[in-house]
Structure 1
């Protein structure tokens, strides 16, 4: 069953941010908000998996998904997530939870290290080392091209995207392990056993560095995008949120 949605734009640091709200479908008079941040070259639809997730958890809380701007720079993504969180705090009652997928999870982790007040954090296939992740995601030749100071044009079934060397250089200014040590809320780390972009070992290292309360969910046979495991992942998230909401 597809839950009712509202589509709109949120004022961003440079331009409006496209967003969609899946309405709360539960019985409580007050609820929380789950903000979902997509991964590299992703979208608020998430290949259908983000929509599936939103429908799965809508009996528990409202779900706010949004699109990062096309530039993909990590510093800008942190600013855009901040704008979305501020919007949610102004418009909706209750606590804020954030789910970040892959690079969106790195963004969420870095945001929460700078801005306390988020109730819970869900890291979905999130890297512990961004350089290693993009070596795997872009391929050796493309990664080294960026490292050498050259622009990189990606042109495939996902469309066109121009990456500058600054895209990788920014990673050196952030420390994901320090960020997760600073996190003080409830944490769910969910990762695919056979993730080909971010090895499971990275997720386990982040998890070990995190404070309690924390939960690690490993999806057996799942790849980086949870291609065949979207429903299973959504059920894990729903159960965790149910416990976190009390």
Structure 2
């Protein structure tokens, strides 16, 4: 069993300091996966913590990032949360990890819900060795509608909903690198049609796993186990070549 260290990392961006946790296996220059949490979540996401442990046991480092205004990171959640801001957080994290001398050059991304859309956009602009997303929205408008109908829009500033801060899949094929898409077919927040569209638009190599009866938070223990098994195998294949 590999020894795993967890390091607390600080990443500067836009005058703020982001908090992150780097799970480092005791192997030279390991590949890295960076995780982006959902809109109202943080780096303590159970999916991320489980995946971080599983990947570190395979010799793959994992960075759990607190976006601005979330968890231990600086900033104010309501004031600072927009899609471009979260994309900027991930860009800063990718640059900070690239500048370290103890990581290899192979990088993957994992994102859940809005974090999946952030990772998808980041990989579209700067492809990665492996991209895994769960319950990611392909378009902003339906998500905005869900937030308004639930009253969660009050937790966000008007800037979050401004047209210039919205996101949609680009018209071009999604040249992101290898991609694995997970989605539940009973997701009431981000309907499964989003996951299917992302999969269809992806240039590949690509694969998709639809959880029968699966909800947005992935509450089913069987789905959690299958996710962990297949996501670990996916990253191990494309980052370790195994």
TM-score, with normalisation over the residues of structure 1?
Answer: 0.83
Instruction: Give the Cα separation in 2 of the matches to 1:173 and 1:225.
Output: 23
Distance 2:22 2:165 in 1: 34
Q: Residue 56 of structure 2 aligns with which residue?
A: 58
Structure 2 matches for 1:125-204, cutoff 5 A? 125-136=135-146, 138-140=147-149, 142=151, 152-154=153-155, 163-170=156-163, 174-178=167-171, 181-204=173-196
Aligned with 1:94 (options 102, 105, 125)? 105
**Structure 1 residue 232: Cα displacement:** 2.5
CA displacement at 1:96 relative to structure 2: 0.8
Aligned residues: 224
Aligned-partner Cα distance in 1 for 2:130–2:47: 20
Q: Aligned to 1:109, which of 120, 130, 134?
A: 120
Q: Note the residue ranges of structure 2 that are not aligned, 5 or more in a row.
A: 69-76
Question: Whole-Å Cα distance in 1 between the matches of residues 128 and 227 of structure 2?
Answer: 22
How has the CA–CA distance of structure 1 residues 129 and 23 changed in structure 2, closer, same or farther, with 3 Å as cutoff?
A: same
Partner of 2:94: 85
Contact 2:135-2:184 at 8 Å conserved across structures: yes
TM, length-normalised to structure 2:
0.84
C-alpha distance after superposition, 1:26-81 (max 9, x if no partner): xx6442100000110110111x2211111111123000011111232111111111
CA RMSD in angstroms comes to 2.2
Greater mean alpha carbon deviation, residues 31-40 or residues 217-226: 217-226
Does 2:31 align with 1:32?
A: yes
Q: Displacement, 1:173?
A: 5.1
**Contact 1:133 1:197 survives alignment (8 Å):** yes
Unmatched segments (≥5 aa) in structure 1 = 144-151, 155-162
